Amino acid sequence: MASKIYFSDYFQVSEDVLDAYGALNICLVSDLPAFVDPFLIFQSEKAEYQELHDSMIRYLAFLRDHTEIARRNKGLRKEWFIFREVKQNWLGFTFMGNGGNGPGEKFANSLMDNLSIFVSSEKDAIHLEQIRLVDDGVGRDGVSDFATNIIKKYLLEYTQEFGRRHISQDKLKIFRVDRVEFDYETRVWRPGLYELPYFEPRDDYALLTPTDILLLDETFINRKDLTRKFDVIVRACEDETLRGKINEYFKQKLMEARGEYPRYEAISATLLRFPVLHDLYLQMKEREAEEALTRNADDVDFLRTLFVSQVRKAIDQLERDTDFYAHSPDSYVEARKRVLAFKRYIEDQDGYKLLNRKGKTFSREEDVQLFFGLVWYGTTFDVNREPNNGRGPVDFKVSFGRTSKALVELKLASNSHLRQNLLNQVSIYEKANETQKSIKVILFYTEEQQAKVHTILAELKMRDDPSVILIDARRDNKPSASKA
């Protein structure tokens, strides 16, 4: 069966055409782990992006001025502050689908509590990501989802234009899209009509996103970066008296800290006491705008090379396996077959080059899990990623009906909790998911990691355990075909 998991495949357009238009070739099976970063919109020299940023600031200012009304009126709070995820862009965390939650009540409450702090008439520039500096509980996905909702009209027009230029008419359809543009006179979100690419399997439209506003891991402005650069930011304070007060307050809070991470606790208290540190950090990030552009270019290259081009090759290779789509209704047998097919692709068909590009490896287990999840394309089994059934999430649960269940836990050898995980975690998951069948997959990139895994397995007497499958993604032990 020919895979049609990407926009270009389904709508029969060239990847080169998408690239030339500046759009990401989205996956129509599973979200790609990319996020809209408002800073890339802010720093762009494109006139349309500057307009988008201005519209974002205008709306944030409106929310600031109407916070108290929204606190008293649930209907207005829902209309102004609460948004659903724009799932049609197929970006985010959802595995084997695109049904995320979007920025809900928690994000709305954080906006109402903190907007007056970072949206003020005295500031030269305002960044939506600042909410992450004052509220540690707001994640990159919340900021991305909120920003995507605010610029949705632009994305709809961007996609409509592409579709009319490059997609056959029979694959386009008129959609009435809710909450497209905010009417400041009536104070409500207005819908709009758009002719968009029609994705028939979901009876929905597909929405393209420009690659030059996307990042993978973190928004360019984020609290982790702020705390890491705390000392540099304090030194950047030109007011010697204020700088002395900040240092003295930090030392006091460090001595008083009783938590597991005293330095972080002291930094958080100091940031709360001296909001000027946020402004100094933002000024520093604005001066480092070139770094954001470099990250964007690297991240887009990573997405295109690994999660699009190479994943397609992997799936095409697996589809050539005559036994790949033949199955019995045994979830464990099916899961094991898919894992072994994944292992063969990595070890014997140059798949290791995808995961281990000249030493630049998939450093996050989430990325490897997403790649592995995509090899389930076309399955008739029910596959869920990280279902939380009371005792924490497991990577994958595979089921066929009510009685046939199996679990797959995929870990990197570099995981510092690998031994503990092998010893305890899967047995806990098995009980929570009412199954005794599980597969533990461990992937290693180096000889040192390989030795670590073998040592742990020997200590736990699991060297010959058939439920443990090792995947060798090393580059230094694969002879070329010409030398084999």
Mean pLDDT of 382-410: 68
Give me the phi and psi of 217, to 5 degrees please: -85, -55
What are the helix (H) ranges across 73-139? 74-81, 105-118, 131-134
**Nearest-angstrom CA–CA distance, 26 and 88:** 10
The answer to whether residue 403 scores a pLDDT higher than 50 is yes
Q: What is the pLDDT of residues 280-333, one digit of tens each?
A: 988 898 898 899 898 888 888 878 877 777 777 777 766 666 565 555 678 888
> Closest Cα partner for 36 from 122, 158, 123, 119?
158
- pLDDT at res. 72: 93
- pLDDT at res. 362: 60
Q: What is the pLDDT of residues 101-110, one digit of tens each?
A: 667 788 888 8
- Pick from 14-28, 183-197, 199-213, 392-406: least confident: 392-406
Q: How confident is the model at residue 382 (pLDDT cuts 50, 70, 90)?
A: confident
- What's the length of the chain? 484
Q: What is the DSSP string of 418-482?
A: HHHIIIIIHHHHHHHTT---EEEEEEE-SHHHHHHHHHHHHHTT-TT-TTEEEEE--STT---TT
Query: In one letter, which amino acid is 85?
Result: E
Mean pLDDT of 127-139: 71
The answer to whether residue 387 scores a pLDDT higher than 50 is no
- pLDDT at res. 429: 45
Phi-psi sector, 271: left (phi>0), alpha (psi -120 to 50), beta: alpha
Q: How confident is the model at residue 96 (pLDDT cuts 50, 70, 90)?
A: low
> Closest Cα partner for 33 from 103, 91, 99?
91
Q: What is the mean pLDDT of the chain?
A: 83
> Closest Cα partner for 263 from 295, 305, 227?
227
Percent of the chain with pLDDT over 70: 83
Q: How confident is the model at residue 390 (pLDDT cuts 50, 70, 90)?
A: very low
Q: What is the pLDDT of residues 179-231, one digit of tens each?
A: 999 999 999 999 999 999 999 988 999 999 999 999 887 788 888 888 999 99
